[in-house]
Amino acid sequence: MSSANYAKAARIANTRLGMDSPAAEGCKDEGASGAPQVSKPSSMDHQMSQLMPEGMRKIGLEMHQSASDFAAQAAKASKTGNADAALASLSRVTQQCTACHAAYKERSKNKLSNSSIW
């Protein structure tokens, strides 16, 4: 973003952080569609989500949704040259990161803790 390479920022955000990224798989609500679930091989991100507290999953989902919005805004900025909306979207992504890291801190080796959960 700082070098005004908005198309590259959009591509990276979409593929690494957005709702279509592999990392978002673990935050998606599998039962939301009501459709029968077909057994399929799990990715590491999906397996990790099985251990994730619900609050963390929700914040993660919001972060991935915000990243997809940022990717769309950065793609628009690559065409218009106006990055204001993209920067506002990027701010929402980092707000979700900060919220999760503030709520879920590693207190001891291999144990996530949240005072309201643990």
CA–CA separation, 68 and 14 (whole Å)? 6
CA distances from 59 to 36, 37, 66, 117 (A): 26, 24, 10, 15
Q: What percent of the chain has pLDDT over 90?
A: 54
Residues paired with residue 112 on neighbouring β-strands, in sequence order: 106
Which tokens belong to 115? Answer: 């005072």
Of all helices (H) and strands (E), which one includes residue 36?
Answer: none
What distance in Å separates the CA atoms of residue 61 and residue 27, rounded to the nearest whole number? 5
Overall average pLDDT of the 110-118 stretch: 54
Give the tens place of pLDDT for each residue, 13-65.
999 999 999 888 888 776 544 444 444 556 666 677 677 888 999 999 999 99
